[in-house]
Structure 1
Amino acid sequence: MVLNKYIQKGNTIINDYNAVLARNTENAPNGNGLYSQTVAFSHYNNLSAQLPIEPNTGKLVAGGIKEQTEQCFKNIKAIIDSIDHVMSDVVRITVFVKNIKDVEAIDKVYKTFFPTYVPTRTIVAVDALPMDALLQIDALVSHGEGTIPNAPQAGDLIKLTNNTANAPTSLLSTQTVSFSHYNNLSAQLPIDPRTGRLVAGGVKEQAQQCLKNMKAILESIDVPFDDIVKVNIYLKNLSDIEAVNEVYTTFFPDSAIARATAYVPARTTVAVSALPIDALVQIEAVVSHGDGTPPQAVEDRHGIVIKANNTENAPKSSLSTQTVAFSHYNHISAQLPLDPKTGEMVAGGVKEQAGQCLKNINAILESIDHVMDDVVKVNIYLKNIVDIDAVDEVYTTFFPGGVPARSTIGVSALPKDALIQIDAVVSNAEGTPPKE
């Protein structure tokens, strides 16, 4: 267990704060010291993306997409079993697949692991995956007992699932799953919920429909659009980003209060090789949920605020906030290898670029009085998956203990023609209490 800096003073542990709790089991592939299989903080477990690796051999399982999908889920289940949880505690699944045509085969296996309850879900086809795997699966798991050392909570928080006819529905995913102080939305495709078909038009119309669907879901649970803390945009063509941004700025900020502070969520933009139904864009979101989920007491549920922060020591953008904190998590916008002083790409190759991305993340954390040890999950997006060994050399200098959970995917393109982009989820032990 790695203790958050806010709860350790000398040899004394203060039980009022949650701690970063990293765990591993021999029944799932190990991270070779680079990352932990699952990192719990407060009411969520953040799992490392699972490849179809047999834990006994460390090699890809024999067979095709069916066998690889089964192995990914077996690994996830083994991790969940090892921390005394069950598969129905999963709130979000992200499937990175090499060939979008494999989704039907993946779904057949998926149903066997989620026969009744289904979490929120995102599926994208990516350019490459580690070990030349056909797919990789990421998961977020509820953690009702929390992570206060020597002071477990009751563990009886419930998930709230919701679907509305005003957004596209699916038997394989729930539109939104709330747990404690967060709502996790399924990635929204540009589907008109009235027809169940792709909306007519180009990328602008498709981006607008994705955001309309998100708004409809949030309205159905009485949550305002400006409660979104993180947005992930998956684009078939990275060159479409300017057109998407034109639409994006008509949705953010959404309220007068948000406009007054120029609030926009943290954001990551990823170029993918293909999307379901041959869409040009797909958008997912993480949303604050100040009401919490029962049986949290009313006095513990209301008035928590979003804390957004930018620093001059990291690259700034009018379209995203560098870090958005809510309750016990900070969500960091994807960092490109840009020198904040010049706004230009750092000189050198992938090592130098990886170092700059991590320096930017560190600068953001320092600006909010946090440290790299507070990071619970890292997502690495690489232009060339073969660069991962070089990246790991740099990565270990920032995370020598290998604690954060991690996902690594190969993408077809990155903004600014970068070789690498990194985002992160960070623990926030102090929470975000109401302003005085």
Structure 2
Amino acid sequence: MTKDNIVLARNTDKAPIHPLASQTVAFSHYNNFSAQLPLDPQTGKMVSGGIKEQTEQCFKNNQAITESINHVMSDIIRITVFVTDIKDFEIIDEVYKTFFTTYLPSRTVVAVDALPMNALVQIEALLSNGEGTIPDAPQAGDLIKLTNNTDKAPVNSLSTQTVSFSHYNNLSAQLPIDPKTNRVVVGGIREQTSQCLKNIKSILESIDVPFDDIVKITIFVKNLADIDAVDEVYKTFFPDSAIARAVAYVPARSVVAAAALPMDALVQIEAVVSHGDGTPPQAIEDRHRLILEANNTTEAPICSLATQTVAFSHYNNISAQLPLNPQTGEIVVGGIKEQTEQCLRNIKTIIESVDHVLEDLVKVNIYLKNIANLAAVDEIYGTFFPDGTPARRVVGVSELPKNVLIQIEAIAGNAEGTPPIVK
């Protein structure tokens, strides 16, 4: 594996520029976009109008960024839509269909408590990067995007169940829908959690990928008090195989409180999955059965249901970090500034434990209990990322685990990659 991949951060004045976040950060075969608000790039202010106009502007901003790096909208692998009122999704979908007329990315849809600048909607894209980021040496030419749907899992007319590109599969967030009836399963949180995970498993089986190849799970739950019940079910799915059980492998994980979910579901689960075979024309010797490298350090908080960082190919996926002191397991003393600093320290410790640095981060996702605290968060954030290199997402949620004020997750580049299995 080559070691000269670079983190490539870019901005265009055709889309809103934030002093602490790059519009897109490419690494290896993916471009990670900052979540786009409905801001007019000329004025920096919210566009006039309602949800329709705001949705259009979010997509226009994503399109401007995409085109500024010589890509097209059909290069998008995943779209994530955050909205403050779940009832707005019919209008959002009408706009959505005008930007994706043939190809459909995988998609996650969730209503949250608040968004920056009181926006009604925020839209984020993950983009393929076929040329890679090795200077003057394209990694594999124009890689092929592989899309797949199976009738063993719910089929949605506006999203693809899984989109594979290079060494990752990005799945659409799965609702607790019975694929035979297309309705939410009967029962409560346990039954719904089980159905979400069954749907993910069915999708993976349809493309001959083991369940234990999942590197990151995000659980969107309507009532955070349900998480204990969710975890009871979760533990029956992970680890899934004898090999995974032998090493106690569990994916990186984030738990996010949703204000509402589509179809009034209680839970929705999103998965990012390794793809050891890669997508053509990657050479066989570069792609075959790459190793998942999972790592925990005692210098950061350890959770029995999540691995702190799971590396695969050219990315490290880091579990969401709470402001916990790793020595005591308790929330740090103080307010939002102290909690923000502790979250970022934990991420720094984790990434350094695998011989990387903060400058390797390509994406940071921030979940805030009170969106009004964002200015204080940015004050601390700027001391860790003075150049504003990572792409970024900021979302306001009604509650967080352990009643903390902030939770932060991250994705880092892994220049050295992960090696193939040697038999």
Residue 140 of structure 2 contacts residue 281 of structure 2 at CA under 8 Å; is this kept in 1? no
Q: In the alignment, is the contact (CA less than 8 A) between 1:329 and 1:431 conserved in 2?
A: yes
Aligned-pair CA distance for 1:150: 2.0
Cross-structure match for 1:202:
188
What one-letter code is carried by the residue in structure 1 that aligns with 2:353? S
Report whether the alignment pairs 1:117 with 2:128. no
Deviation readout 1:192-230 (Å, 9 max, x if unpaired): 000000000000000000000000000000000000000
* Residues 52-111 of structure 1 deviation map (CA, whole Å, 9 limit, x = unaligned): 000001000000000000000000000000000000000000000010000000000000
Equivalent-residue separation in structure 2 for 1:434 and 1:165 (angstroms):
32
Aligned position for 1:3 = none
* 1:120-144: CA deviation from partner (whole Å, max 9, x where unpaired): 0000000000000000001100000
Task: Tell me the secondary structure at the aligned position of residue 325 of structure 1.
Answer: strand
Are the equivalent residues in 1 in contact too, given 2:222–2:261 (CA < 8 A)? yes
Measure, in 1, the Cα distance between the counterparts of 2:221 and 2:297: 28
CA contact (8 A) 1:143 1:155 kept: no
CA deviation profile, 1:358-389 (whole Å, cap 9, x unmatched): 00000101110110000000000000000000
CA deviation after TM superposition for structure 1 residue 16, in Å: 5.0
Residue 258 of structure 1: SS of its match in structure 2?
Answer: helix
User: Which residue of structure 1 lines up, in the alignment, with residue 12 of structure 2?
Assistant: 25
CA distance in 2, matches of 1:288, 1:82: 29
Deviation at 1:435, TM superposition (A): 5.3
Which stretches of structure 1, 4 residues or longer, exceed 4 Å deviation after superposition? none
Name the amino acid aligned to 1:191.
Answer: I
Alpha-carbon offset, residue 294 of structure 1: 0.7
Aligned counterparts of 2:186 and 2:146: Cα–Cα separation in 1: 33
Identity of paired residues, percent?
73
Distance 2:141 2:53 in 1: 34
SS in 2 for 1:249: helix
Change (3 A) 1:57 1:17: same
1:393 alignment partner, one of 366, 372, 379: 379
Matched to 1:327, the amino acid is S
1:431 lines up with 2:421 in the alignment: no
Residue of structure 2 in register with 1:284 after alignment: 270
- Equivalent residue for 1:185? 171
1:144 aligns with 2:130: yes
Contact 1:380–1:420 (8 Å) recurs in 2: yes
The aligned counterpart of 1:74 is 60
Deviation at 1:410, TM superposition (A): 0.0
Question: Where do residues 68-107 of structure 1 align in structure 2 (5 Å cutoff)?
Answer: 68-107=54-93
Letter in 1 for 2:128: S
Kindly report which structure 2 residues correspond to 1:47-58, keeping only aligned pairs within 5 A, or say none. Answer: 47-58=33-44
Residue of structure 1 in register with 2:343 after alignment: 357
Q: Which runs of 5+ in 2 are unaligned?
A: none
Give the alignment partner of residue 316 of structure 1, picking from 268, 277, 302.
Answer: 302
Give, in angstroms, the shift of residue 149 of structure 1.
1.3
Alignment of 1:217-366 (within 5 A): 217-366=203-352
Give me the whole-angstrom Cα distance separating, in 2, the residues matched to 1:434 and 1:192: 37
Q: CA deviation at 1:322?
A: 0.2
CA distance in 1, matches of 2:289, 2:160: 27
Aligned length: 422
Contact 2:3 2:415 in 1 (8 A): no
1:158 maps to: 144
Contact 2:14 2:61 in 1 (8 A): yes
Matched-pair contact (CA < 8 Å) for 1:35–1:403: yes
Aligned-pair Cα RMSD in Å: 1.0
- Matched AA of 1:340: P
The SS at the match of 2:218 is strand
Alignment of 1:169 onto 2:143:
no
Q: Deviations over 1:238-286 (max 9, x none)?
A: 0000000000000000000000000000000000100000000000000
C-alpha distance in 2 between matches for 1:358 and 1:173 = 33
In 1, Cα distance between equivalents of 2:14 and 2:141: 25
TM-score, normalised to structure 1, is: 0.96
Question: What letter corresponds to residue 276 of structure 1 in structure 2?
Answer: P
- What amino acid maps onto 1:24 in structure 2? N
Tell me if the contact between 2:362 and 2:389 (Cα under 8 Å) persists in the aligned partners.
yes
For residue 407 of structure 1, what is the aligned residue in structure 2?
393
SS of equivalent residue, structure 1 residue 204: helix
